[in-house]
Amino acid sequence: MSKGFDRSLADLVDYGQLRTRQWLVEHGVSRHSLDNALKSGKLVPLARGVVARPGVSVGWQGVVASLDRMHSEPVYIGGLSALSEAGLGHYVDFSGSIHLYSSAPEPPWLKRLELDMNLVWHGTTRLWGPEGAPADSLKEVSENHFAYWVASPEVAFLEVLAEVPDTVSFEHADNLMQGLSALSPKRLDAVLRVCRHVQVKRLFFFFADRYRYPWRKRLSSDDYDLGRGKRRVETGGKLDRTYWITVPEAFHGSE
């Protein structure tokens, strides 16, 4: 292996991160050089088609940082994980999973990695469209020498509502709303305007009406496209006639 490749390797494969063979080839590393690097131990395989530098284990932070580096579309921590990151852990049922969001498809090798955390991939096209979540609603977080993106609470809560009632219950979403008294009405307005998911927007206003935080007065549901017709959210639930969604009986008329 040449010294030139050593310098390229250091630039392209950070310690504690991973890269795919395909990405390295696309960035100028020959397949022959990759094979030599693996044979000499200057790279180690983590899964089929995935390599890293030896000597430092690759944890979930390194994987998230790597995903964002290798994708042209943002890959960020969102949903329940972003709410926990924002200090709302008391309201989050933390399950040992990290929820990742992107408009890009999930890379097939991700499930083959052995990590200390379960990484759950969520596509965002239905919620945010092909452009993904608004760029100014993501913030960069640095931890253990890794930098990755985390959704704002405003974005994260709408992402959680997209999981109601399949993997997030009404009760859980309601508990989360109890901790969201300090949301930004300006950011909420921005994300509600780009949100394409009618049911999520109706659920948002349903829960917002239950608590009537100061930011709720700054938002009018008439300003957003809430679609037409009924939406069956809760099978066998009662119809809320304000937002025309079915909700559990315990939540019906309880604002």
Tell me the pLDDT tens digit for each residue of 145-184: 889 999 999 999 999 999 999 999 999 999 999 999 999 9
Same-domain status, 74 and 173: yes
Same-domain status, 19 and 85: no
Return the C-alpha torsion angle 235, 241, 244, 250, nearest 10: -30
Domain with 165 in it: 60-225
Tokens of 31: 């397949």
**Integer Cα distance of 4 and 249 in angstroms:** 67
The contacts of residue 77 (CB under 8 Å, 6+ apart) are 64, 85, 98, 99, 100, 101, 148, 149, 150, 151
**Is there a domain that residue 251 lies in?**
no
**Integer Cα distance of 69 and 74 in angstroms:** 9
Same-domain status, 65 and 149: yes
pLDDT at 189 over 70: yes
**Residue 248 buriedness (CB in 10 A; 0-12 / 13-18 / 19+):** middle
**Integer Cα distance of 190 and 224 in angstroms:** 10
Give the pLDDT band of residue 238 (cuts 50, 70, 90): very high
Same-domain status, 39 and 159: no
pLDDT at 4: 45
Same-domain status, 34 and 143: no
**Is there a domain that residue 239 lies in?**
no
Tokens of 137: 């609603």
Same-domain status, 23 and 140: no
**DSSP one-letter code for 231:** B
**Is there a domain that residue 246 lies in?**
no
**Is there a domain that residue 194 lies in?**
yes
**Integer Cα distance of 182 and 200 in angstroms:** 20
**Is there a domain that residue 81 lies in?**
yes
Same-domain status, 69 and 39: no
pLDDT tens digits, residue range 105-145?
999 999 999 998 899 999 999 999 988 888 889 999 988 78
> Of 186, 192, 190, nearest to 205 (Cα)?
192
Q: How many domains does the chain have?
A: 2
**Is there a domain that residue 148 lies in?**
yes
**DSSP one-letter code for 106:** P
**Is there a domain that residue 207 lies in?**
yes
pLDDT tens digits, residue range 36-87?
999 999 999 999 999 999 999 999 999 999 999 999 999 999 999 999 988 8
> Of 180, 174, 179, 149, nearest to 161 (Cα)?
174
Same-domain status, 75 and 41: no
Same-domain status, 141 and 34: no
User: pTM (2 decimals)?
Assistant: 0.91
Same-domain status, 45 and 82: no
pLDDT at 1: 40
Same-domain status, 126 and 213: yes
pLDDT at 190 over 90: yes
Strand partners, 91: none
Q: Which of 7-11, 148-152, 166-170, 244-248 has the lowest average pLDDT? A: 7-11
Same-domain status, 64 and 48: no
**Is there a domain that residue 36 lies in?**
yes
Assign 3-class secondary structure to 132-181: CCCHHHEEEEEECCEEEEEECHHHHHHHHHCCCCCCCCHHHHHHHHHCCC
